[in-house]
């Protein structure tokens, strides 16, 4: 115990500064005010907590969506698709070049074939005319074909062979006419293809440009990924800060409860003192008043710190809420800016889609041309094969005719006739052999051209699984994929736009809903002022010293659970001014 002051004047003044009733009323009033602070802070923090729960989920969804969008567009799946379209473009270009090559080779061969074909008609007509002359000679001069009646079958009559030959030459003429039509059809098809070819080239050029634009766009998006990450990171930090600051409601509540516990105890002591007031001597009463003075001073300091914590926490939560709202609006704006167009759809995709769609039409047309050219070539080859067969039959008949005529001329069957007839037959035979030779020369050229056509196979252009026929299917698959990507992007963008607008408006509302911010400050300020007044009024009699301040306040330590309470207590006990800042996130304020 400290040394007692015996100044009776000072002691009297101290004892008359407050009555026990005044003190009871004072602590009761302060307790009521603290209860009201509990209520308002609880209400504000509960609302903030609920709002935080919503914002947290929404902010995470926006960040996830943005991250998904950026990674989706710049990711492997999209890159593979672009590479696939690029490959498709190369394939289309290559196939048009291959088809061009085929058409040129075939056209050159067919030009030669047509020229040779024109040279065929006259020799055939001549051939037929000579055969007619032979028939005439045979019927007029009754040429007999010598043969060994015991060993040989009678040979065909010259007339019969001539008829067969003429029929065969007639078939060849028909085939040649058909061939001529086919060649003309090929050149008409070529002209038609040349007219549409420029469209295919144009669409390929556009497609190439769109692929480059698409690739360039997602490269551009990739470059903006760090900005999205920064915003997401900022949002996470704000969320972490809000979590920390929301915990101060419990810290503040407990600190005020500790003050209430002390007041409750003081009220009980005052009540006991009132009941035995006659038995309590002035000295004891004065010591008690001095203790109240020191407690009031300490609690004023504790509450000043508590108020600072409250205001700081509310301010930080509000700021971080607003920052999250702004951050999410920026994320959404970045998504719109880099991914969507002014119309809200990914413009960079529509160009590619449109050109792919057109390319699909052109490729289908290209395939029809390829098939048509190939069919024409096959038909021409088939006619050439038939001509070859016809020519072989002509040769066979000619062989028979040669044999008969040789025998007839050498065996003297014409002896009874005059030399002029023999001469005529011999001349005719020679003409027929010339006709055959000329025809053979032309038909050999036909077969050479036939082999050229055979060598220049177009099968690779339209074979299933490897040919152009598969290209429209591939394009359809890419169009579907692009459609899916576009759909995904639009859905996420729409969701983000809606959520960011919502979160932006809700954080404003949430901050505006903090209704007791000033009330808390005013009431706690009023309590502090009252405590300071009690402290000040009792300090007027400071020349009286009861128990030391440290001893007076010692009992309060048992209520504390937080390090800052101890720090404020120790500073005040030593008569120092407490200089403890309100806690930062992860700071040293602690609670149960």
Give the binding site for another protein (CB under 8 A): 42, 45-46, 49-50, 52-53, 56-57, 60, 239-240, 243-244, 246-251, 253, 561-563, 583, 585-587, 589-592
Closer CB to another protein, 9 or 57, in the complex: 57
CA-to-CA distance for 252 and 271, rounded, in angstroms?
A: 28
Closer CB to another protein, 165 or 313, in the complex: 313
Closer CB to another protein, 159 or 311, in the complex: 311
Closer CB to another protein, 42 or 434, in the complex: 42
C-beta of 478: minimal distance to another protein in Å? 32
C-beta of 497: minimal distance to another protein in Å? 22
C-beta of 229: minimal distance to another protein in Å? 16
Closer CB to another protein, 256 or 340, in the complex: 256
**Cα distances (angstroms) measured from residue 466 to each of 12, 99, 459, 554:** 114, 15, 10, 93
Beta carbons of 7 and 543 less than 8 angstroms apart: yes
C-beta of 329: minimal distance to another protein in Å? 21
Backbone angles phi, psi at 225, to 5 degrees: -55, -45
Q: How far apart are the first and last CA of the chain?
A: 34
Backbone angles phi, psi at 473, to 5 degrees: -65, -45
What is residue 361's three-state secondary structure? helix
Closer CB to another protein, 168 or 244, in the complex: 244
Q: Which of these, 70, 69, 61, lies nearest to 503 by C-alpha position?
A: 61
C-beta of 327: minimal distance to another protein in Å? 17
CA-to-CA distance for 47 and 51, rounded, in angstroms?
A: 6
Closer CB to another protein, 147 or 560, in the complex: 560
- Count CA within 13 A, CB hemisphere, residue 55: 35
Rounded to the nearest 5 percent, the helix, strand and coil shares of the chain are 85, 0, 15
The residues near 269 (Cβ < 8 Å, ≥ 6 apart) are 288
What is residue 418's three-state secondary structure? coil
Closer CB to another protein, 375 or 584, in the complex: 584
Backbone angles phi, psi at 131, to 5 degrees: -65, -40
C-beta of 328: minimal distance to another protein in Å? 16
C-beta of 561: minimal distance to another protein in Å? 6
CA-to-CA distance for 359 and 59, rounded, in angstroms?
A: 42
C-beta of 28: minimal distance to another protein in Å? 23
Closer CB to another protein, 402 or 561, in the complex: 561
CA-to-CA distance for 320 and 242, rounded, in angstroms?
A: 7
C-beta of 280: minimal distance to another protein in Å? 35
Q: Considering Cα of 476, then 477, then 478, then 483, what sign does the dihedral take?
A: positive
The residues near 235 (Cβ < 8 Å, ≥ 6 apart) are 59, 63, 324, 327, 328, 331
C-beta of 243: minimal distance to another protein in Å? 5
Closer CB to another protein, 351 or 583, in the complex: 583
Closer CB to another protein, 304 or 317, in the complex: 317
Beta carbons of 450 and 342 less than 8 angstroms apart: no
C-beta of 585: minimal distance to another protein in Å? 7
Residue 540 carries which DSSP code? T
Closer CB to another protein, 52 or 443, in the complex: 52
C-beta of 65: minimal distance to another protein in Å? 15
Give the other-Cβ count within 10 Å of 101's Cβ.
12
Burial class (CB in 10 A: 0-12, 13-18, 19+), 59: buried
Q: Which of these, 571, 563, 569, 565, lies nearest to 588 by C-alpha position?
A: 563
Q: Which of these, 490, 512, 486, lies nearest to 335 by C-alpha position?
A: 490
Residue 413 carries which DSSP code? T
C-beta of 587: minimal distance to another protein in Å? 8
CA-to-CA distance for 195 and 212, rounded, in angstroms?
A: 28
Closer CB to another protein, 240 or 477, in the complex: 240
């Amino acid at each position: 115990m400290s040394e007692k002051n015996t100044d009776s004047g000072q002691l009297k003044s101290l004892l008359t500064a407050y009555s026990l009733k005044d003190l009871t009323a004072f602590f009761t009033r302060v307790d009521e005010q603290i209860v009201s602070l509990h209520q308002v802070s609880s209400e504000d923090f509960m609302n903030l907590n609920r709002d935080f729960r919503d914002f947290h989920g929404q902010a995470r969804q926006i960040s996830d969506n943005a991250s998904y969008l950026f990674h989706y567009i710049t990711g492997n799946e999209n890159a593979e698709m672009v590479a696939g379209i690029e490959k498709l473009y190369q394939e289309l270009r290559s196939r048009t070049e291959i088809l061009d090559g085929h058409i040129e080779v075939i056209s050159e061969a067919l030009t030669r074939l047509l020229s040779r074909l024109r040279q065929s008609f006259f020799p055939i007509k001549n051939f037929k005319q000579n055969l007619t002359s032979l028939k005439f000679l045979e019927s007029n001069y009754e040429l007999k074909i010598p043969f060994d009646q015991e060993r040989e079958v009678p040979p065909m009559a010259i007339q019969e062979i001539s008829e067969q030959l003429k029929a065969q030459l007639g078939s060849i003429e028909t085939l040649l006419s058909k061939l001529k039509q086919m060649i003309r059809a090929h050149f008409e098809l070529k002209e038609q293809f040349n007219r549409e070819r420029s469209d295919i080239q144009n669409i390929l050029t556009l497609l190439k440009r769109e692929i480059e634009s698409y690739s360039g766009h997602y490269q551009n998006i990739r470059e903006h990924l760090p900005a999205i990450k920064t915003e997401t990171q900022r949002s996470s930090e704000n969320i972490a800060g809000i979590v920390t600051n929301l915990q101060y409601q419990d810290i503040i509540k407990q600190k005020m409860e500790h003050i209430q516990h002390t007041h409750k105890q003081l009220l009980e002591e005052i009540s006991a003192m009132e009941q035995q007031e006659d038995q309590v001597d002035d000295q004891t009463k004065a010591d008690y008043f001095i203790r109240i003075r020191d407690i009031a001073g300490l609690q004023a300091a504790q509450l000043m710190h508590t108020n600072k914590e409250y205001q700081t926490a509310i301010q930080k939560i509000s700021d971080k809420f607003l920052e999250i709202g702004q951050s999410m609006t920026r994320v959404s704006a970045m998504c719109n800016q880099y991914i969507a167009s002014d119309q809200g759809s990914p413009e960079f995709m529509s160009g590619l889609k449109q050109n792919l769609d057109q390319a699909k039409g052109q490729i289908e047309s290209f395939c029809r041309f390829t098939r048509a050219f190939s069919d024409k070539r096959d038909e021409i080859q088939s006619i050439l094969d038939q001509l070859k067969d016809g020519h072989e039959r002509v040769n066979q008949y000619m062989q028979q005719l040669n044999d008969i005529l040789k025998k007839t001329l050498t065996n003297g069957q014409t002896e009874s006739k005059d030399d002029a007839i023999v001469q005529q037959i011999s001349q005719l035979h020679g003409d027929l052999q010339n006709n055959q030779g000329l025809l053979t020369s032309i038909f050999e050229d036909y077969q050479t051209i036939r082999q050229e056509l055979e060598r220049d196979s177009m099968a690779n252009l339209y074979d299933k699984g490897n040919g152009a026929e598969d290209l429209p299917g591939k394009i359809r698959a890419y169009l579907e994929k692009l459609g899916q990507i576009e759909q995904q992007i639009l859905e996420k963008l729409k969701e983000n736009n809606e959520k960011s607008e919502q979160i932006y408006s809700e954080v404003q509302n949430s901050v505006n809903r903090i209704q007791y911010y000033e009330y808390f400050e005013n009431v706690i300020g009023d309590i502090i002022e009252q405590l300071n007044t009690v402290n000040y009024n009792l300090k007027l009699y400071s020349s009286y010293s009861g128990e030391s301040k440290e001893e007076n306040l010692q009992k309060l330590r048992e209520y504390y659970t937080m390090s800052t309470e101890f720090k404020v207590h120790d500073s005040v006990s030593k008569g120092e001014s407490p200089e403890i800042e309100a806690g930062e996130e992860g700071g040293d304020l602690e609670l149960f």
